[in-house]
Chain A
Amino acid sequence: MGIELQNITKKFAEYTALDNISLNVDSGDLIALLGPSGCGKTTLLRIIAGLELPDSGKIILENKDTTNLPPRKKNVGFVFQHYALFRRLNVFDNVAFGLNVLPRGERPPRKEIRDRVEHLLKLVQMEWALKRYPSQLSGGQRQRVALARALAVNPKVLLLDEPFSALDAKVRQELRRWLRKLHDEIHVTSIFVTHDQEEALELADRIVVINKGKIEQQGTPQEVYDHPANAFVYNFLGNVNVFHGRIRNGKVSLGTHHVDAPDELKHTEEKPSQAFVRPHEIGISKIQSSGSDLVGTIQEVRLLGGQIGLNLECEGFDNPIDAEIPRELYVNLQLAKGDKVFVSLNRVKVFTGDYAI
């Protein structure tokens, strides 16, 4: 087991940042801690690194209890959101830092340090910048140097705290793919923190969704996306339309409209429910295909890259419904603002219980 967290709790004054969190990470996995800001994910990462101490609980790295070790004894690589490179040292010395501070007996010879730093910089495609100072590099380049620096000490675990969030969208996407490739090459057990569901879905072997200091769900991206455990997870993993209604006699009411309740909720007594539909799972047509279609009017048309976003006002619904359709379909149907269309809700996901967005 790469990382084992047992019952980690952390409180700041009155506020509980982490509430009894237990988590196991297999060696060599790349894990995403996904959650809204303030959910405790960064605190959890800092506790694993030893930068914060938990109030209770245990941290076991590679079968060794490291709960009370100071950060420098944990052998953990940490990549910070804002790089935290040493400004007075050039790229080479930044990456070599972890090796240069080893006690004399353990420190590799100069030549070996040089080779290792050059190898790492080649790995992060920064070998050309050996003599540069951090201020002469772009954000993406700095973060790659920071990654090489963290890897230089052969860490048991690599921790990344929102590593790409300070970068612009294009670079972010590039680095994401690149990190995934790098991880496939070096296989160091890694945890990265993010609030970006796309980043988590694209990059991680497993996703751990955290909210208010608790784990809501964990699993592969596929599992978490297709079978969200609760309304929070479903909502957090992408855009949604929410319909507040009631579940009654195996039917769920959405406005004046009814759909069949999912099997596990078929026989529950009457209670409040929320139904969720993702915008891209809404069908738009000019011809009524079944009796359950809604009738809507297009209020607004937005261009979203390859998709077209429609804002629909539907009969019997208080709030407008967001839909996303391929651009081709939009052109073929010759849709325009003010048109009447038939709207079908595919894959409605129903949750009961109180959940406010």
Chain B
Amino acid sequence: MAFFQRKRRNILPGFGLSMGYTVFYLSAIVIVPLSMVFINTIPMGWEPFFSAVTTPRVLASYRVSFSTALFAAVFDAVAGLLTAWVLVRYRFPGKQFLDALVDLPFALPTAVAGICFATLYSPVGWLGKSLTSWGLTIINTPTGIIIALIFIGFPFVVRTIQPVLEELEPEIEEAAHCLGATRLQTFSKILLPHLFPALLTGATLAFARGIGEYGSVIFIAGNLPMKTEIAPLMIMSKLDQFDYNGASAVALVLLLISFSMLLLLNAVQEWQQKEYR
């Protein structure tokens, strides 16, 4: 957008240089490597491509990946909002510690998280034992995948909401209370609309991360074909069988769906923001 808005002389210096750098960076780091997915897929031809990405097992893996990532993102949105709220609005001992804890999923190798979850929720694990006795299985089910993805996506939501919440003055809430609003009304009519764009961004990031997540999921998912096999695993197993074309075909579809969803969510946000600024 900014590229086309360059009508008058800009006060901010170095537009040409920084724009050039941005384009170069995006090309070198994002576009060129990802275009390899296209280039590798093209020689396949349309027919084999179509049949490779529409086998029931591949279709099921898309379904698993997108549905679990969506569930996890929605859960993260709620839990992350609550956590950000507590971290911004209250003062309590151990707040710094809790704040640091939020970022941990960023730093931890995801495989470590996966192994921890697998041990914890296995039928002999701490939590798994009692859950199994209540008839609930986590491991080798989509629920297990969702738990892993919730963990991975959580910090995205907290960290996007926190700054927006911090700049929202408490007087806004006081004004709503003085006008007769209950706490629930203040939340739903004032706070939530204000936080919504940030919430959407956070959830989108968590969702995008969830679609691509591999390391933590494979340990807990059990990878049962048609049930708990995620799309990234599909790609890995095709690579293991030296089916490079098939792998890049699946990857291409994953890429296109993810990108169009991100594009859509960005458009929603743009539209959301437009009126107020």
Known: A101-B180, A101-B185. A84 touches B175 (CB 8 A): yes
Contact of B177 among A70, A80, A88, A149 (CB under 8 A): A70
Contact of B180 among A49, A51, A82, A98 (CB under 8 A): A98
A101–B171 touching, CB < 8 Å? no
Complex Cα distance A216/B178, Å?
A: 29
B276–A135 touching, CB < 8 Å? yes
Contacts of B177 in A (CB 8 A): 51, 70-72
Known: A101-B189, A133-B276. A86 touches B180 (CB 8 A): no
Contacts of B185 in A (CB 8 A): 101
Contacts of B179 in A (CB 8 A): 72, 97-98, 101, 149-150, 152-153
CB distance from B187 to the nearest CB of A (A): 12
Known: A78-B174, A101-B185, A133-B276. A88 touches B190 (CB 8 A): yes
Q: List 21 A-B contacts (CB under 8 A).
A: A71-B178, A72-B180, A72-B181, A78-B175, A84-B175, A86-B176, A87-B194, A88-B193, A88-B194, A88-B276, A89-B193, A97-B176, A97-B179, A101-B176, A101-B185, A133-B275, A149-B175, A149-B179, A150-B178, A152-B179, A153-B180
Is B264 engaged at the interface, CB distance under 8 Å to the other chain?
A: no
* In the complex, chain B residues 157-184 whose Cβ is within 8 Å of any chain A Cβ: 169, 171-172, 174-182
Is A76 engaged at the interface, CB distance under 8 Å to the other chain?
A: yes
Complex Cα distance A311/B275, Å?
A: 55
Complex Cα distance A86/B174, Å?
A: 11
Complex Cα distance A97/B176, Å?
A: 8
Contacts of A73 in B (CB 8 A): 180
Please list the residues of chain B having a beta carbon within 8 angstroms of any beta carbon in chain A: 169, 171-172, 174-182, 185, 189-190, 193-194, 275-277
B180–A87 touching, CB < 8 Å? no
Other A-B contacts than A51-B174, A88-B193, 9 sampled, CB-CB below 8 A, are: A74-B178, A77-B178, A87-B194, A97-B189, A101-B180, A102-B180, A135-B276, A150-B179, A153-B179
A87–B181 touching, CB < 8 Å? no
CB distance from B173 to the nearest CB of A (A): 9
Contact of A78 among B178, B193, B276, B277 (CB under 8 A): B178
